[in-house]
Structure 1
């Protein structure tokens, strides 16, 4: 077997295991899952499971890190000032669009992990990633003396609000397209709740 074929096989196997984890978490929550449940659901033997993961906790951690890593790669290229020009023309900001497409590709896992039977620690990781991105990419362009509220409160507000919007989209069955969600999120972020609600003209 070639290296590429072997790599594809590993990726396929790990995806099957993650899919099994997703289904089982939705059924009975993470704590109720055993390695036996996972191997039966994924139709693999225990040896194959232990070839990739130490235990179910390692599986959860690696699965979450895979998602975080994918998000991190996308947001590294964000240029906040470009978002304003795209949004003012009612066009989706490309990197945020890619993010929502990424969320859509991983929707089953993300819906569960960010839901009531998911991992509260993962929500914390997501918030920290949003905070860090916002601080590094956006806050550096802000003029503190022109701000109407303290920067730390703004960053905390934005991270919680963004995560809440993503969770609502996933839990509501992703009725809006990634394009629509990109415009919704960027308009709320750039114009503020009062403006988009029609309270402030």
Structure 2
């Protein structure tokens, strides 16, 4: 049991160090040495847990989005707006992390990884209702649209320092994206 606590403490220290440094100077400018110094962790311990800086970054996402995946998994497949709402609530609750990972300091690697992870969660959630709708649109196209719209609004919100609450952003998402998604789920495109 003490080893598990030590592992969790070490990983938490490394995650926190990475987030702080990304906020200060941007992801690309952060070195493993700086992370180690900030977290007060030796190099061998770091490499016992992570292959490199990118692996540490991805582990931050995995933990955060694992909780989101679990929450989305409890939803009805027909509840199409709730995944975006859950992401916005999670982002607001963890503003510091999202500022670092989703803001300008996060970089393209971060954006691409977040896009793929959220896309996987949404694919799992939307596959069944899309198949049931008889839509001719490919699942991956619909998921790409949903993911891009959801993350685009999230990026705007982060860039504007969470200027509104999550309910406002979710309402904005519903106005902009939900009509199109409902159209796809309720009526297949006519064959041409």
Q: TM-score, normalising length from structure 2?
A: 0.71
User: What is the alpha-carbon root mean square deviation over aligned residues?
Assistant: 3.1
Give the equivalent residue in structure 2 for 1:144. 135
Give the equivalent residue in structure 1 for 2:123. 132
**1:87-128 Cα shifts (integer Å, max 9, x gaps):** xxxxxx4x6544333222333222222233324244234334
Unaligned residue ranges in structure 2 (runs of 5+)? 181-192
Matched, 1:182 2:141: no
Q: TM-score, normalising length from structure 1?
A: 0.69
Alignment length (residue pairs): 177
Q: CA 1:80–1:181 in structure 2 vs 1: closer, same or farther (change >3 Å)? A: farther
Q: Distance in 2 between the 1:51 and 1:125 partners?
A: 23
Q: Distance in 2 between the 1:97 and 1:6 partners?
A: 37
Conserved? CA contact 1:26–1:117, under 8 Å: yes
Conserved? CA contact 2:58–2:113, under 8 Å: no
**1:11-59 Cα shifts (integer Å, max 9, x gaps):** 2332221121112223333333222211222233434433422332321
Give the equivalent residue in structure 1 for 2:52. 55
Deviation at residue 6 of structure 1 after TM alignment: 4.5
Q: Distance in 2 between the 1:46 and 1:56 partners?
A: 12
Unaligned residue ranges in structure 1 (runs of 5+)? 85-92, 193-201
